[in-house]
Amino acid sequence: MSAKQIIMNFSVPPSPDDLDVMAASIMETLPEEILEFAEGMAVSMEDFPDETTEQEMELDDPYELLALYKSGKEISPGVEKKTANDDDILFLYRRPILDMWCESGDDLGMLLRQVIIEELGKHFDFSDDEIEEMNGRHFQGML
């Protein structure tokens, strides 16, 4: 067990603040290949996506979206930069994440880490195989 690993036992669902603390710790220990793209990026924990996001993402159900990376700036219309800064935000959606946690029975911290790695990996053009390898390699170090 890592000295930085957060151990939480919940008798009530984790609050946005609880998950913010977990996400901040996870952001510090992302795989290097993702970390170099995400340095300086803000993280925001919301209960659900807002109505605008639901419409933009064409969601039938707000539980469909676990996380969303939003770039604060474009290099030119339709072209986004390939590294994050403090204008960029990774939105994490608490209720959908908790729903997945309840259904899966997985460790909440590991599930949250997987959601973060997958969302950032997809945004920064990592292949599905690369994302799976990062998750697998990173989780092996956590066990």
Span 4-35, pLDDT tens digits: 455 556 678 899 999 999 999 999 889 889 98
Q: Which long-range contacts (CB under 8 A, 24 or more apart) does 1-8 make?
A: 2/29, 2/142, 4/28, 4/29, 5/109, 5/142, 6/109, 8/108
Q: What is the span of the domain harbouring residue 70? A: 16-142
pLDDT greater than 80 at residue 94: yes
Residues 36-61, mean pLDDT to the nearest whole number: 91
Distance CA 7, CA 126 (A): 30
- The per-residue pLDDT for 54 is 93
- 53-86 residue pLDDT tens: 999 999 999 999 999 998 776 544 555 555 555 5
What global pTM score does this model have? 0.81
Which residues are bridge partners to 76 per DSSP? 79
Q: For residue 34, tell me if it sits in a domain.
A: yes
Q: Are 125 and 142 in contact (CB under 8 A)?
A: no
pLDDT of amino acid 2:
46
Nearest-angstrom CA–CA distance, 1 and 69: 30
pLDDT at 89: 92
CATH number at residue 111: 3.30.2010.20
Cβ neighbours, 10 Å, residue 79: 8
Q: Is 51 inside a domain boundary? A: yes
Confidence band (pLDDT; 50, 70, 90) for 87? confident
Residue 1 maps to a domain: no
User: Is 126 inside any structural domain?
Assistant: yes
Number of domains composing the chain? 1
